[in-house]
Amino acid sequence: MKRRLLLLLLPVGFLGLALFFYQGLSLDPSQRDSALMARDFPAFEATTLRDENRRVDQSLLQGDVTLVNVWGEWCPACKQEMPQLLELADRGIRMVGVNYRDTREKGMEFLSEFGDPFETNIFDPEGELGFDLGVYGAPETFLVDADGVIRYHHKGYVSPQDVRERILPEVEKWR
C-alpha cells in the first residue's frame, strides 16, 4: 500500500509541474510591469519642446495626477493613439508629454498635425529621461500620482478600449 502511494507521487508531481509550466506558456513576456511601479518619477532636468529656454525637472509631475506619454514623431503607434490622448485631455486629465529621441522641428510638426493634448512636453532628444523611465519603445504611458509616484504603466498603443477599461479607472483610483 505504501509502495502504491509512493508510485502515485510520480504522476502527481509530474502533473503539478506540467500545469505550472503550461501556465507559463500563456504568459506574455511583453506584458510585464514596469520596474518603476510604485517608485518616484526619476529625477531629470530638461528643456521643453516648445521653449528651449524653459527648464523643467521632476517637480513638474507633482501636485496633480498626471498621465505622462512618451512619444516621438518617428513612432506610428503614437499617431494612432493621439485621438485617445486628446479625449483624455478633454476629460480634464493633466497630460505631460515626453518627446523621445526626436528633433524640435519634427516634434512640433507632429503636434500641429495630430493635435496637442499635452500641458507641457519635456524635450528628451538623447533619450536620457526615457532610459531612466525604462522606456524601450514608444509609445509608453505612465500614470503619476499627485506626490510624483508612478502608479500605472501602459506599454504600447493606447486603444479606445484601454482608455475605458484601464486608464480611466486607474486615474479615478489615484485621484
What residue ranges bind other proteins (CB under 8 A)?
29-30, 32-36, 101, 127, 131-137
Q: Which is nearer to other proteins, 34 or 58 (CB)?
A: 34
Q: Which is nearer to other proteins, 107 or 130 (CB)?
A: 130
Measure Cα distances from 97 to 29, 100, 123, 161, 171 in Å.
26, 9, 9, 21, 17
The continuous run of DSSP H or E covering 91 comes out as none
Q: Which is nearer to other proteins, 131 or 147 (CB)?
A: 131
Q: Minimum distance from CB of 164 to other proteins (Å)? A: 28
Residues facing 129 on adjacent strands: none
Q: Give the contacts of 74 (CB within 8 A, at least 6 positions apart).
A: 101, 102, 106
CB 76 within 8 A of CB 134: no
Q: Minimum distance from CB of 155 to other proteins (Å)? A: 10
Q: Minimum distance from CB of 111 to other proteins (Å)? A: 23
Q: Minimum distance from CB of 130 to other proteins (Å)? A: 8
Place of cell 493633466: 94
- DSSP SS3 for 130: helix
Q: Which is nearer to other proteins, 68 or 133 (CB)?
A: 133
